[in-house]
Structure 1
Amino acid sequence: MDEQQVAEQVIEQPVDGLFSSYFPLPYRAVSTFILGVWAWGITLHYLTKLRIDVESLIRFNQQRTGPPLYRSVYEVAGILTVVYVASATLFWMASNASENFAFLALDILPLSCFIAVPGVFFYPGIAFHQSGRYRFLRTMRRIVFGGLDRDTRFADTLVADALTSYTKVFGDMWIMACMFLSRKSVASMPDRTCGGKYIVPAIIAIPYLIRLRQCLIDYLRSGGQDFYHLLNAIKYSTTFPVIILSAVQRSYSESETATFFGALTLYNLWVLSMIVNSLFSFYWDVTRDWDLTMFTVSSKNANLAHKGLRSIMYFPSYVYYVAVFLDFILRFTWSLKISPHLYFFNEQEGGVFALEIMELLRRWLWLFLRIETEWIRSTASGRLPIVMTEGGTGMHEAKD
């Protein structure tokens, strides 16, 4: 693409394209990744303050050598942020300069940032916390190819669950690659029809397939005795009708599909599948991932000081109620996000990015309570010792 073509794309930007002009797709994708790293560091830091030994749960640094894990994560996040801010600043400066710098601003800078930030994890030197970076890469390789390590199972499932919150970002990465190969500026308005109508939905489905396979591995390892793993697999499988029906609606042609389904029938099926997936996922978050009792019937619940919660809690009671409320709302908004046929969301780039950020927020809140729950289970079962300090364990019991 020469400078004249780049300049023409700048001139032809629609109103919504202004968002992409100042915040192009590569920078958006990278920003969600960096935010995820910062969120993980903050989670580790705060839970450590509560005397929850996350490093033991994820089987990291069991010899207790070196600084706390959250410090290492902060340092990596800081490095990534510096690279990102430097690139974005140069991009904004160059985009407001003469046309001679247009090509540099619209393509080279965003793409180089997109490559450089993940590239930090592949740096072969011992600097920048090599052991932690390489462990993350090994975990990614294992789960992408469908593996589930017995010893680091909890860490593997956490990473796989996090990937399901990045599904739309992965779809955006495909759009970006398709535009680049089609000789379109990746800093222009994203062409969300690039590459066909079914590739992006297929990419969106991959993280759910990974998590589904992990659940089936757990079920088989239990000898078919633990049906909760099978139910969890069914939960992830309810995502696929939402994605498939949405893709069919986007490519709907009355003449081609009226024989089987009309437009209204397709829409009603999509709504039904979205409701089933959102409610099932929400119920699982609250009841199984967080061990809260608001949807369970038991005589033990009557003795709880805070109705619907549990006896052992590391956070104030209002945190759980707020988390449940936000999880319910954001579960439904994420179902909208994985539905490419909703043009009023998916063709407004600011709206697309806002929904991605909201899903990261939901996953972040989920992560706090999920790790807390696993810690309570592990210490209660004797799999891990309770960390005792001068400040106690950090937990409290809800009693009458």
Structure 2
Amino acid sequence: MADGKHGDVPLLISDVRQDRPHDLSELTSVRQGSCSGFVMDGRIADSPTVASKVNATVNSQRHRLSVIVFAVCALLLAFAASRWSELLSAEFRMLRGSFNVVLLIYLFLLNIRGWRAGNISYIKMFELDNDWTVWNSVSGVSMHTGFLWSFGCSVTLLLCALNRTTAVSYVPVMLWVALFTYFVWPFKSYFFESRMWMINVLYRILVSPIHEVSFADFWVADQLNSLASVFVDFEFSMCFLVGLGSYSVADLKEMPVCRIATWNSQLILAALPAWWRFAQCLRCYYDTKEIPHLLNAGKYFSTFPTIVAAGMLATAQLNRPHAWQTGPEFHIWLYTTVFRAVYVYVWDVRMDWGFFKCNSFPCSPVRSKHPFLRTHLLFSPHWVYYGMILLDLVLRFSFLVKLCPVIFGMVPGDVFFSILLTMEVVRRFLWNFFRLEYEQTKSMPEDAPTKSRQFSAGNTPTLPHEM
């Protein structure tokens, strides 16, 4: 927006100065080929009209209501699944995938608030129009999908309470169909331009490595890596829907028709997001000849042995129930998973966030005031960075909780696994803040000093719906 005001977020922001103040809210990023970062330039964002302000205020109230309804339905579903685990096992698995998709859209709104507060030029990084349009689009899409998921969840719980075992299994599947129809709706309504932007990005991801890789391409592909389990749950939902033509609901829940018999397709779908990023990294190396892109490709390649090992372990458990923690398949899974977790964690903090690099130590003429961090930090208080480094470590190794039988036995397996999947979505949401911040700071002069300031009543940024 023209006045450079952004989200009402209780954060301290670093105002980077050199000879004069750098208003990063007025910056743009010009794409330099593929995989090569951004050069910042000036821009003036469009201001909303009065009518748009009124509509945004109304939509904001509806959006808050959708958040409340979405959270309540999610809690009720988790409670029902833990109490009636046998009755809702299949439906819970079909609903959790769509839940994580909608949750990530909601969290993206918080990412926008944080980026705006930090004066991070995410608009031009993603090659979008202006932040006013982006905020309204993401807010509207999250509101629509949130209400849609809440409605499907409510109907599922109601039918379950009425003991309509046959009808209840159709609802989560039809919810997937409704969400897919919403995103590909061909008419110019329901934020058509924003949905088409996402579809175009997804198309470029699907055909990787044919096209050059933009920042938006690999960023969205990274989001898909945190939603890899959603692909498996979607396949399970479609298998369940097709199976209803040949089996009863009771048979599908008792027999491993969709849980085990389609392991090959499930493993392929789980590996797809990693393959897309792997192919993008190879394309980046082809375009730039920079070795870090090959190392990044190796990070995503490490996902494939982990997925294969998980499939071997699940298959072994069918014949040998005690294969978990005792058989050779378990040890293969554990070693490959730990190796991957170490690889991706080191890459997170060093390459994606820019921490623990040479300029944090005496080897650089510009020494960071904060050990192990970057020279330029746009968010404050700075202890948040150290907290995020530790939190990312915990979330990356959260799978180790499966090895503790006491904790693992406290809740049903599907509910416990769903909690881990949701934790990964939250980790990606936190990762987004520092990834874009680092992308912006890479264009700043190393010797530019920083000065922290805190929002007060006089300089609190304003989001569109608050105008």
TM-score in terms of structure 1 length: 0.78
Match of 1:359 among 419, 424, 431: 424
**Aligned position for 1:26:** 94
1:278 to 329, 341, 344: 341
What are the superposed Cα offsets for residues 152-204 of structure 1, whole Å, 9 maximum, x if unpaired? 61110011111111111211111222222222549968956343433322221
2:126 aligned with 1:53 = no
Letter of the 1:364 partner, please give it: F
The whole-number CA distance in structure 2 between the counterparts of 1:372 and 1:193 is 41
What's the CA shift string for 1:181-229, capped at 9, x where partnerless?
Answer: 222549968956343433322221111111101000000111x3x1000
1:40 corresponding residue in structure 2: 108
Q: CA deviation at 1:108?
A: 3.3
Q: Is the 8 A contact 1:345 1:352 kept in 2?
A: no
Equivalent position of 2:375 in the other structure: 311
Equivalent residue, structure 2, for 1:8: none
The verdict on how the C-alpha distance between 1:165 and 1:370 changes in structure 2, with shifts beyond 3 A counting, is same
SS in 2 for 1:312: coil
Please, which runs of 5 or more residues in structure 2 have no aligned partner?
1-81, 320-325, 403-407, 447-457, 462-467
Matched with 1:181 is: 242
The correspondence for 2:86, drawn from 17, 21, 24, is 17
Paired residue secondary structure (1:128): coil
Structure 1 equivalent of residue 40 of structure 2: none
1:42 and 1:70 in contact (8 A); partners too: no
Q: Does 1:247 align with 2:311?
A: yes
Aligned to 1:229: 293
Mapped partners of 1:205, 1:346: distance in 2: 28
> Residue 20 of structure 1 aligns to which amino acid in structure 2?
S
Structure 1 runs of 4+ aligned residues shifted over 6 Å read 343-347, 390-393
* Cα gap change, 1:131 to 1:254, in 2 (>3 Å): closer
Distance 1:111 1:271, change over 3 A: closer
Please give the residue correspondences for 1:111-130 in structure 2 after superposition, counting only pairs within 5 Å: 111-130=173-192
Task: Give 2:387's match in structure 1, choosing from 318, 322, 339.
Answer: 322
Alignment pair present for 1:110 and 2:172: yes
In the alignment, which residue of structure 2 is the partner of 1:292? 355
1:201 equivalenced with 2:267 (yes/no) = yes
Deviations 1:230-265 (A, max 9, x none): 11111111122222222223333999xxxxxxx754
Q: 1:211 to 1:252 in 2, by over 3 A?
A: same
1:87-121 deviation per Cα after TM superposition (whole angstroms, max 9, x unaligned): 32233233323x6x5543x1332222221122211
What's the secondary structure of 1:251's corresponding residue? helix
Q: 2:263 is paired with a residue of what secondary structure?
A: coil
Q: State the identity %.
A: 22
**Is the 8 Å Cα contact of residues 93 and 414 (structure 2) preserved in structure 1?**
no
Cα distance in 2 for residues equivalent to 1:178 and 1:92: 21
Change (3 A) 1:14 1:234: same
Alignment pair present for 1:146 and 2:208:
yes
**CA shift digits 1:32-53 (9 cap, x unpaired):** 1111111112211221122112
| CA–CA distance in structure 2, aligned partners of residues 346 and 174 of structure 1 | 25
Contact 1:95 / 1:102 at 8 angstroms: preserved in 2?
yes
Q: Within the alignment, does 1:213 sit opposite 2:213 as a pair?
A: no
Distance in structure 1 (CA, Å) of the matches to 2:317 and 2:158: 45
Alignment equivalent of 2:155, drawn from 68, 79, 90: 90
Structure 1 residues 58 and 298: alpha-carbon distance in aligned structure 2, compared to 1, 3 A threshold: farther
Aligned partners of 2:231 and 2:270 also within 8 Å: yes
The AA in structure 2 aligned to 1:247 is: G
Question: Post-superposition shift, 1:139?
Answer: 0.9
Greater shift in the superposed pair: 88-97 or 282-291: 88-97
**In 1: Cα distance, 2:437 partner to 2:317 partner:** 49
Q: Which amino acid aligns with 1:50?
A: G
Give yes or no for the alignment of 1:161 onto 2:227: no
1:327-366 to 2 correspondences below 5 Å: 327-333=392-398, 348-366=413-431
Residue 42 of structure 2 corresponds to none
With over 3 angstroms needed to count, the CA separation of the structure-2 counterparts of 1:254 and 1:171, relative to structure 1, is closer
Aligned residue identity for 2:198: F
1-structure distance, mates of 2:86, 2:398? 23
Question: What TM-score comes out, normalization by structure 2 length?
Answer: 0.67
Q: Is the 8 A contact 1:17 1:189 kept in 2?
A: no
Q: 1:252 to 1:304 in 2, by over 3 A?
A: same
Residue in structure 2 matched with residue 5 of structure 1 by the alignment: none
Q: Tell me, yes or no, if structure 1 residue 70 matches structure 2 residue 70.
A: no
Residues 208 and 135 (structure 1 numbering): CA distance in 2 closer, same or farther, change over 3 Å? same
Q: Which has the higher contact order (CA 8 A, sep 6+)?
A: 2
Instruction: Give, in angstroms, the shift of residue 20 of structure 1.
Output: 3.2
